[in-house]
Amino acid sequence: MNMSRRDVSEAPVAETRVLVTVVVNGRSRHIEVEPRTTLLEALRDELRLTGTKKGCDRGECGACTVLLDGRRILSCMSLAVMQEGKRITTIEGLERDGRLHPLQAAFIEHDGFQCGFCTSGQIMSAVAMLEEARSGWPSAATADVTKPFTFADLSAPEIRERMSGNLCRCACYPNIVAAVSTAAVEV
């Protein structure tokens, strides 16, 4: 039997779902997802963790930034099925015993947001960025990459460069840099 192009496109497609076990905000979670489901979609739709935002859905804005085993990633660019056994931290997982993370508090103190849409991604990126700087990772703004980078070298230009993958439509960048600078001494 020879099927025409139209017949093939109308053929029923079996939906395959895959069970994935991840640790989200310190809690083991089992989610059943379609193989093409992004981590962002799984967090928001399956686990109802809506603090992680869907901005561009193309890896350009950073609103969907989460921590994966302590490193920042764009959850819209990663498939949920690839995360089996991984530790994921979202903005909802930063507070401890009812107290805001120092970066969350600093964003409030320095008015580091206006509409707030990018804020969770900004904060998650800043958490990882401070750890990267503390670990001695240089950036494109580092004056001399042949010398070891120290946390004391974390200047405003360094922070701006290291946070450049997170966009703010309201242009709160000076306040974001001030918030990260303040929190850097507390984290």
> SS3 for the chain, per residue?
CCCCHHHHHCCCCCCCCEEEEEEECCEEEEEEECCCCEHHHHHHHHCCCCCCCCCCCCCCCCCCEEEECCEEEEHHHCEHHHHCCCEEECHHHCCECCECCHHHHHHHHCCCCCCCCCHHHHHHHHHHHHHHHHCCCCCCCCCCCCCCCCHHHCCHHHHHHHCCCCCCCCCCHHHHHHHHHHHHCCC
Is the domain of 114 the same as that of 168? yes
How many domains are there within the chain? 2
Instruction: Give residue 185's pLDDT.
Output: 86
**Is 7 domain-assigned?**
no
In the prediction, which pLDDT does 91 show? 97
pLDDT in tens, 144-179: 999 888 888 899 999 999 999 999 999 999 999 999
Q: Are residues 88 and 122 in the same domain?
A: no
Average pLDDT over residues 9-24: 81
- The verdict on 106 and 82 lying in the same domain is no
Structural domain for 137, as ranges: 102-184
Q: Which pLDDT score is estimated for 36?
A: 96
Same domain? For 80 and 116 the reply is: no
Residue 1 domain-assigned (yes or no): no
